[in-house]
Amino acid sequence: MKFNIAVLPGDGIGPEITQQSVKVLRAVADRFDHEFIFEEAEVGAIAIDLMGDPLPDTTLELCKKSDAVLFGAIGDPKYDNDPSAKIRPEQGLLKLRKELGLFANIRPVRAYESLIHKSPLKPENIEGADMVIFRELTGGIYFGEKSTSEDGRSASDLCTYSVEEIERVAHLAFNAAQERRKKLTLVDKANVLETSRLWRKTVTELGKAYPDVSVDYLFVDNAAMQMILNPKQFDVILTENMFGDIISDEASVIGGSIGLLESASVGTENALFEPIHGSYPQATGQGIANPLASVLSAAMLLDHLGLKEEAETVRMAVDLSIKLNVCTIDINKDNHYSTERVGDFLESVISDTEGHIVNNENLSLGQMTII
């Protein structure tokens, strides 16, 4: 099968990790006799520097005509540290989500058995944790009207939601719950916010169409606490834009590294796949960035294209790299591998059509023996 994939490496470590994902996807194409046509474009700070726009028209058009978008990361300290900057890298991603109609962000979170000791949380609290977070992505306070007074002494951000915006992401979450453990948790702040009360009313009504799914409700502050105390209670979490941004990043501690969390941003016609971590500018060019979240995002991309076996092959390769500790320094501090070496290992495993097991005793930085 033939697919067109837009590749947006972005800023910081984005190009390094995206390169490994493309490497993995090329191995998948070779193994399963597909043709992936990759085309790169600029976004974020690099696009501002080159074109004066965090999302150039050429980049947007490429994304619209592609079957899927593989995204790296955006952000640069020179913009983060300048509150007066009128143009920011993040504006490119927000505009891209809006223009492509990517109304739902989907973030799987699970505890890897071999990495439980890496998490700052108690092992007995996180062992077996496995959830998916559905975050509404194109509404709420991030996209509401913004204003600053003329004297610069006050500012406001408007949070607005409609029933239609809530329903379309809620349907996806309910459908996912039906395929999992049939439990959905709505995270809101309905004791204070009118928008949250609308969320709760809408989801409660919609839940009647999914009688096999049990629905419970948590205020966001309690949900943040429960994510630490008892994450195993969660199956599918549904929430609004800002709450989802915060809760899903917090959930990264369950896996032991934010470098393990992938995500998909989907709409009715387009889809974008990216790791949840940022551009990590301090690590740029050092070969220490963890590519696994990007590679797992590529697996979600394959799922989106209907290539289920291919996606599972990528996930099994990632599981093997974690099991054998073929990982970057955030996971393997004593005998770590570079970003590129981890990508090479994943490529080798996927290309191993005979299904042999990697011989861990002969595994070293310069040697990967397949037996």
User: Per the annotation, where are the binding residues?
Assistant: 97, 107, 135, 221, 245, 249
State the DSSP string of 274-329.
EESS---GGGTTTT----HHHHHHHHHHHHHTT-HHHHHHHHHHHHHHHHTT---T
d(CA 284, CA 105): 26
Catalytically annotated residue among 142, 210, 280, 337: 142
Going by the DSSP 8-state scheme, the letter that residue 2 receives in this structure is E
Catalytically annotated residue among 201, 221, 308, 333: 221
355 exposure class (CB count in 10 Å sphere: 0-12, 13-18, 19+): exposed
Going by the DSSP 8-state scheme, the letter that residue 266 receives in this structure is E
Catalytically annotated residue among 30, 67, 130, 245: 245
Quote the tokens at residue 244: 């989802």
Pairing between β-strand 214-219 and β-strand 183-188 as defined by DSSP bridges: parallel
Distances (CA, A) of 19 to 45, 48, 273, 358: 18, 21, 14, 23
State the binding site for substrate: 97, 107, 135, 221
| Residue 23 appears among annotated catalytic residues | no
Catalytically annotated residue among 67, 130, 249, 352: 249
What amino acid occupies position 66?
S
State the binding site for Mg(2+): 221, 245, 249
Catalytically annotated residue among 23, 79, 189, 337: 189
First to last CA, the chain: 31
Check: CB of residue 103 under 8 Å from CB of residue 143: no
Check: CB of residue 72 under 8 Å from CB of residue 339: no
Quote the tokens at residue 360: 């861990």
Sheet holding 104-110, edge to edge: 35-40, 2-10, 68-73, 271-275, 262-266, 104-110, 130-136, 236-239, 183-188, 214-219
Quote the tokens at residue 141: 């306070």
d(CA 1, CA 33): 7
| Residue 182 appears among annotated catalytic residues | no
> Which CB contacts under 8 angstroms, 24+ apart, belong to 359-362?
360/324
| Residue 142 appears among annotated catalytic residues | yes
Query: Which amino acids are annotated catalytic?
Result: 142, 189, 221, 245, 249
